[in-house]
């Protein structure tokens, strides 16, 4: 049996520090919102001529007076991602870029993807994203509150916030783009993290009923160990699936799968080291579960 | 938990086979399919354009207020009540009446059978709200009045947008209402939406008005620019003829001038009016105005009674074709702004399909190998279940003709990764039970029973997340929530029926041998 409980305090401190750093990052550095949430134009471009490189592409676009243009390589040598803020309701800007590039470099471009999000829509998307995450956290809270005693609910919710905050913190730290698919990833992380915690809690509660003489500190450790191989196997298969999306699923899914990979790792860690330690700190005992059962 | 009746086994097999057969449907071309259903590919996979248009209702509101003001001014004039200081500002009508009539006027607006202020019994509300500001009265749209106005201009806009897109002839366009002032247009397979965008960006409000020489009269005359944005002319505000009177419009080549023109045919009313106007105004210039700009202002040389005419204005063949198309399909009630646009080229779509499939195959293989190495014979059972699970999932998506997006493929891969969770929970539990229980059947049975709550909890939490995503998300993200959500049901079905059936067959065959997981 692995002594997980030996490091409860150390990992609690580590997690607290990570949460504080994440919050500081979120407040002071902020998130790198993509055009979904900030508005603007995105063009994915494929060049058919090897002579075209990032710097002459950048110079060419700079002359067009588009404001702050960012040009980045996207996946391979031929593909570029161009982003800029759309200033007005000018509908022909893409056509202008096309003809301008064709004039300078010859007809050597393929516009693979164009996305243009107006300020009103991006504000709405951001709002509905925030609502979606809040609602899902609230629903998880209600579900867990119905299913378990309040001490368990608190543990699960703290673990959940821990995962979401640190994942977002990591996105802020690495300056990764937040777009619609990241919201989907965060929601899935919420589901996954909850799932993981619930399985261990289920076992803790079962063991609480079974053994009256074992302290919660030991009991959580027993429960973690009993469910450990399941925790590991499920995390591994989920990570195998996610890693194959990350490496083979194309550029568009990179951010999504990366967020999920972070989420699964934090989710697994937090259900062991965050959710359980809340039970220990709240001094949960057999009385907690028996009392609840009698009430019903 | 391990016992299955014959009937149940038949039921499980037939349900599985049904969905598996449907999932194979996607492999055939449309004429060879046994039922006419398949999974739709989202715009991000098949390529195409997504445009969200917002109707700018302010000119409609302005126009409606103008009409209403004229209407009730005459209405009260007939009753010998003089409306003074009539003004429209900030989407409100301000006016004053002599104080002894004030109550009368307010009552007239608040009367349920009011002639000038329609009452909607369904909403229990008038079209306009009247407010007494002391010296002046203020008339503004009620909430319902505004909703009515918006929905009616949305209905019209939807119709016109549909006509314009149908004229261009793209395959299977999807045109839908969003909220009460938006129209969503999805155009599969279209990789360059510039032409459609420019066609939808025009209101196409066509009017014929006389050019006025009397530029002192600022009330009935306005100064308008030509298409070239340089020349200007004074034009009467009186509309001789509008685009509503047009029956048909076509691009033509004028043989005499060798110029592309748009020829048009008027309806009976229009032809009559046009004939009368041209006959009495020979020698005057008639301006043809589109969306507030003069296309041309030819001099009337003769009476045009046939109801046929042509517009010239230095068109190219393309611009003449577009103008004819716009005139045929009618004017939009209000300008449309494109507030969101997403276009994916067909080759990127194909690349995404390929990448998604490769990721699915590799992810699936990795999971299958890992599970087989870990659980041997029970790994095999899990893997068979996993494959059937995937096929049933595809079968359900096919049956409901769901839209598969790139995030949707990610959802399927994720389902593969998480689907093994339920089997793992069960097998791990059985392993524990086997330590204390020598009877295989009892151990397996209690393994299934005792792991059930954890499995249900785990799946419900994921399902909740998927449901929220479905209602909050848009487009591709919705596709993700669908595959994730449906995947949970197929997972539970395959784990509790298929995997359990296979397990029970294996265990009953090896009742007395030592079974290890």
- Put simply, whether B357 touches A (Cβ < 8 Å) is no
Does B116 share its domain with B210?
no
Q: How many Cβ atoms sit within 10 Å of the Cβ of residue B439?
A: 12
Structural domain tally of chain B? 3
**Which among A115, A202, A238 has the least Cβ separation from residue B342?**
A115
Chain B, window 212-251: residues with a beta carbon less than 8 angstroms from a chain A beta carbon: none
In a domain, B497, yes or no: yes
Does B361 share its domain with B492?
yes
CA B328 to CA A210: how far, in whole Å?
Answer: 80
Please name the residues in contact with A95: beta carbons below 8 A apart, sequence gap of 6 or more: B194
What pLDDT was estimated at residue A294? 57
**Residue at a domain's end among B323, B342, B361:** B342
CA dihedral B179, B183, B188, B193 (to 10 degrees): -140
Residue ranges matching CATH 3.30.70.3400 in chain A: 40-117
For the cut 60, the answer to whether the pLDDT of residue A245 exceeds it is yes
What is the pLDDT averaged over residues B388-413? 92
- Chain B residue numbers touching A199 (CB-CB < 8 A): 425, 454, 457-458
What pLDDT was estimated at residue B319? 87
Q: What is the pLDDT of residues B273-312, one digit of tens each?
A: 999 988 988 889 999 999 888 999 999 888 888 888 889 8
Chain B, window 184-203: residues with a beta carbon less than 8 angstroms from a chain A beta carbon: 194, 197-198, 201
In a domain, B283, yes or no: yes
Which of the two residues, B400 and B32, has the higher pLDDT score? Answer: B400
The verdict on a CB contact (< 8 Å) between A92 and B198 is yes
Chain B residue with minimum CA distance to A93: B194
What is the pLDDT averaged over residues B51-67? 91
A22-30: long-range contacts at Cβ-Cβ below 8 A with a sequence spacing of 24 or more? A22/A165, A22/A166, A22/A168, A22/A169, A22/A170, A22/A172, A23/A165, A23/A169, A25/A169, A25/A172, A25/A173, A26/A165, A26/A168, A26/A169, A26/A172, A29/A172, A29/A173, A30/A172
- Put simply, whether B474 touches A (Cβ < 8 Å) is yes
> Degrees (nearest 5) of the Cα angle B172, B174, B178?
175
What is the pLDDT averaged over residues A26-38? 94
Find the distance separating the first CA and the last CA of chain B, reported in whole Å.
18
At residue B33 the predicted structure's pLDDT band, cuts being 50, 70 and 90, is low
Q: Look up the pTM and report it.
A: 0.86
Q: What is the pLDDT of residues B79-111, one digit of tens each?
A: 888 888 888 888 899 999 888 888 888 988 988
Q: How many Cβ atoms sit within 10 Å of the Cβ of residue A225?
A: 15
Chain A: closest CA distance from residue B157 (Å): 19
The whole-chain average pLDDT of chain B stands at: 88
Q: Return the residue in B340, B360, B383, B389 with the most chain A beta carbons within 10 A, the one to mutate for interface testing.
A: B340
Q: What is the pLDDT of residues B239-279, one digit of tens each?
A: 888 888 888 999 998 888 888 999 999 999 999 999 998 89
To which H or E segment does residue B208 belong? strand B206-210
Q: What is the pLDDT of residues B128-186, one digit of tens each?
A: 999 898 889 999 999 999 999 999 999 999 999 999 998 887 778 999 999 999 999 99
Give the distance from CA B327 to its chain's centroid. 24
- Chain B residue numbers touching A245 (CB-CB < 8 A): 359, 363, 410, 413-414
Does B31 share its domain with B103?
no
In a domain, B182, yes or no: no
For the cut 60, the answer to whether the pLDDT of residue A295 exceeds it is no
Residue ranges matching CATH 1.20.1640.10 in chain A: 4-32+121-295
Does B213 share its domain with B227?
yes
CA torsion through residues B265, B267, B272, B276, sign? negative
Does B271 share its domain with B399?
no
What pLDDT was estimated at residue A93? 81
* B71 DSSP β-pair partners: none
Joined together, the tokens standing for residue B224 give 């308008």
The verdict on a CB contact (< 8 Å) between A230 and B413 is no
The interaxial angle of helices B143-168 and B317-329, nearest 10 deg, is 140
Q: What is the pLDDT of residues A172-222, one digit of tens each?
A: 999 999 998 898 888 888 888 888 898 999 999 999 999 988 999 999 999
Q: What's B211's domain CATH number?
A: 3.30.1360.200
Q: What's B409's domain CATH number?
A: 1.20.1640.10
What is the pLDDT averaged over residues B453-468? 87
At residue B189 the predicted structure's pLDDT band, cuts being 50, 70 and 90, is confident
Find the distance separating the first CA and the last CA of chain A, reported in whole Å.
35
Closest CA to B476 of A259, A252, A255: A252
Is A141 exposed, middle or buried, given 0-12, 13-18 or 19+ CB atoms closer than 10 A? middle
Does B262 share its domain with B370?
no
Chain B: closest CA distance from residue A128 (Å): 6
- Listing DSSP states for B372-425 in one string gives HHHHHHHHHHHHHHHHHHHHHHHHHHHHTTPEE-HHHHHHHHHHHHHHHHHHHH
What pLDDT was estimated at residue A291? 64
Residue span of the structural domain in which B75 resides: 58-146
For residue B30, what are the CA distances in angstroms to B22, B26, B500?
Answer: 13, 9, 37
Q: What is the pLDDT of residues A55-97, one digit of tens each?
A: 888 888 888 877 788 898 888 888 999 998 876 656 678 888 8
For the cut 60, the answer to whether the pLDDT of residue A296 exceeds it is no
**Which among A116, A198, A227 has the least Cβ separation from residue B340?**
A116
**Which among B358, B366, B477 has the least Cβ separation from residue A240?**
B366
In a domain, B478, yes or no: yes
**Residue at a domain's end among B146, B164, B183:** B146
Which residue intervals of B169-295 are DSSP H helices?
194-200, 268-280
CATH of domain A40-117: 3.30.70.3400
- Determine whether domain A4-32+121-295 maps to CATH 1.20.1640.10: yes
Does B12 share its domain with B72?
no
For the cut 70, the answer to whether the pLDDT of residue B22 exceeds it is yes
For the cut 60, the answer to whether the pLDDT of residue A292 exceeds it is no
Q: How many Cβ atoms sit within 10 Å of the Cβ of residue A143?
A: 18
For the cut 90, the answer to whether the pLDDT of residue A258 exceeds it is yes
Does B351 share its domain with B468?
yes
Q: Please provide the size of chain B in residues.
A: 517
Does B381 share its domain with B455?
yes
Give the distance from CA B219 to its chain's centroid. 42
Does B297 share its domain with B350?
no
CA B59 to CA B57: how far, in whole Å?
Answer: 6
Q: How many Cβ atoms sit within 10 Å of the Cβ of residue B299?
A: 11
What pLDDT was estimated at residue B218? 58
In a domain, B254, yes or no: yes
At residue B122, the 3 state secondary structure works out as: coil
CA torsion through residues B74, B80, B81, B87, sign? positive
Q: Return the residue in B371, B432, B465, B479 with the most chain A beta carbons within 10 A, the one to mutate for interface testing.
A: B465
Closest CA to A109 of B192, B189, B51: B192
ipTM, 2 dp: 0.90
The whole-chain average pLDDT of chain A stands at: 89
Joined together, the tokens standing for residue A12 give 């609690």
Does B274 share its domain with B338?
yes
Does B303 share its domain with B427?
no
CA B345 to CA A47: how far, in whole Å?
Answer: 14
At residue B232 the predicted structure's pLDDT band, cuts being 50, 70 and 90, is confident
**Residue at a domain's end among B146, B173, B191:** B146
């Amino acid at each position: 049996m692995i002594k997980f409980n030996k490091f409860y305090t150390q990992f609690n401190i580590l997690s607290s520090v990570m949460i504080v750093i994440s919050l500081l990052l979120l407040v002071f550095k902020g998130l790198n919102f993509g055009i979904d949430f900030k508005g603007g134009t995105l063009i994915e471009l494929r060049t058919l001529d090897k002579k075209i490189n990032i710097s002459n592409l950048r110079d060419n676009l700079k002359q067009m007076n588009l404001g702050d243009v960012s040009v980045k390589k996207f996946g391979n040598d031929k593909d570029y991602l161009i982003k800029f803020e759309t200033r007005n309701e000018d509908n022909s800007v893409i056509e202008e870029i096309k003809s301008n590039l064709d004039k300078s470099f010859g007809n050597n471009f393929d516009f693979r993807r164009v996305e243009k999000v107006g300020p009103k829509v991006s504000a709405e998307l951001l709002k509905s994203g925030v609502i979606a995450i809040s609602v899902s956290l609230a629903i998880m809270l209600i579900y867990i509150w119905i299913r378990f005693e309040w001490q368990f609910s608190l543990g699960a919710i703290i673990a959940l916030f821990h995962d979401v905050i640190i994942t977002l913190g990591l996105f802020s730290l690495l300056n990764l783009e937040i777009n619609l698919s990241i919201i989907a990833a965060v929601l899935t992380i919420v589901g996954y993290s909850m799932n993981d915690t619930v399985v261990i809690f289920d076992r803790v509660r079962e063991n609480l009923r079974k053994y009256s003489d074992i302290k919660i500190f030991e009991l959580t450790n027993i429960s973690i160990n009993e469910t450990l191989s399941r925790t590991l196997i499920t995390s591994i298969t989920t990570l195998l699936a996610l890693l194959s999306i990350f490496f083979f699923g194309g550029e568009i899914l990179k951010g999504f799968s990366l967020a999920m990979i972070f989420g699964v790792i934090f989710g697994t860690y937090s259900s062991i080291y965050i959710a359980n330690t809340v039970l220990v700190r709240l001094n949960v005992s057999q009385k907690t579960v028996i009392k609840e059962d009698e009430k019903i | 938990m391990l016992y299955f009746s014959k009937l149940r086994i038949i039921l499980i097999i037939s349900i599985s086979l049904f969905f598996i057969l449907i999932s194979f449907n996607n492999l055939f071309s449309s004429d060879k399919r046994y039922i006419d259903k398949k999974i739709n590919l989202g715009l991000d996979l098949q390529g195409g354009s997504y445009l969200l248009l917002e109707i700018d209702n302010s000119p409609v509101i302005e126009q409606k207020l103008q009409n209403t003001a004229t209407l009730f001014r005459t209405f009260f004039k007939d009753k010998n009540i003089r409306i003074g200081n009539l003004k429209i500002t900030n989407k409100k009508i301000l006016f004053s009446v002599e104080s002894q009539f004030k109550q009368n006027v307010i009552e007239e607006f608040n009367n349920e059978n009011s002639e000038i202020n329609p009452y909607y019994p369904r909403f229990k509300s008038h079209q306009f709200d009247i407010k007494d500001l002391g010296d002046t009265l203020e008339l503004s749209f009620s909430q319902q009045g505004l909703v009515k106005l918006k929905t009616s201009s949305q209905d019209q806009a939807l119709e016109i947008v549909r006509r314009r897109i149908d004229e261009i002839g793209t395959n299977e366009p999807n045109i839908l209402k969003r909220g009460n002032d938006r129209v969503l247009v999805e155009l599969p397979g279209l990789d360059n939406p510039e032409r459609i965008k420019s066609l939808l960006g025009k209101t196409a409000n066509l009017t014929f008005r006389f050019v006025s020489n009397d530029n002192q009269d600022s009330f009935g005359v306005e100064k308008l620019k030509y298409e070239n944005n340089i020349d200007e002319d004074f034009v009467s505000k009186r509309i001789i003829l509008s685009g509503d009177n047009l029956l048909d419009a076509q691009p033509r080549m004028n043989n005499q001038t060798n110029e592309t023109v748009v020829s048009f045919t008027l309806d009976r009313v229009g032809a009559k009016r046009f004939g009368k106007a041209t006959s009495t105004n020979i020698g005057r210039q008639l301006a043809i105005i589109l969306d507030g700009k003069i296309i041309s202002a030819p001099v009337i040389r003769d009476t045009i009674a046939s109801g046929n005419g042509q517009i010239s204005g230095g068109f190219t063949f393309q611009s003449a074709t577009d103008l004819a198309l716009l005139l045929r399909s009618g004017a939009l009630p209000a300008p449309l702004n494109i507030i969101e646009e997403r276009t994916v080229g067909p080759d990127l779509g194909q690349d995404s399909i390929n990448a998604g499939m490769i990721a699915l195959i590799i992810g699936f293989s990795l999971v299958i190998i890992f599970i087989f190495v870990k659980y041997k014979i029970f790994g095999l059972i899990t893997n068979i279940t996993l494959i059937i699970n995937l096929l049933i999932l595809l079968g359900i998506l096919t049956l409901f003709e769901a839209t598969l997006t790139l995030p949707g493929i990610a959802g399927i891969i994720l389902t593969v990764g998480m689907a093994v969770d339920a089997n793992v929970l069960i097998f791990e539990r059985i392993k524990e039970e086997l330590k204390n229980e020598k009877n295989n059947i009892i151990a397996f049975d209690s393994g299934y029973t005792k792991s059930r709550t954890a499995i249900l909890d785990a799946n419900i939490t994921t399902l909740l997340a998927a449901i929220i995503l479905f209602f909050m998300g848009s487009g591709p993200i919705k596709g993700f929530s669908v595959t994730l959500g449906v995947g949970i049901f197929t997972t539970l079905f395959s784990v509790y029926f298929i995997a359990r059936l296979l397990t029970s067959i294996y265990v009953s065959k090896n009742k007395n041998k030592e079974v290890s997981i």
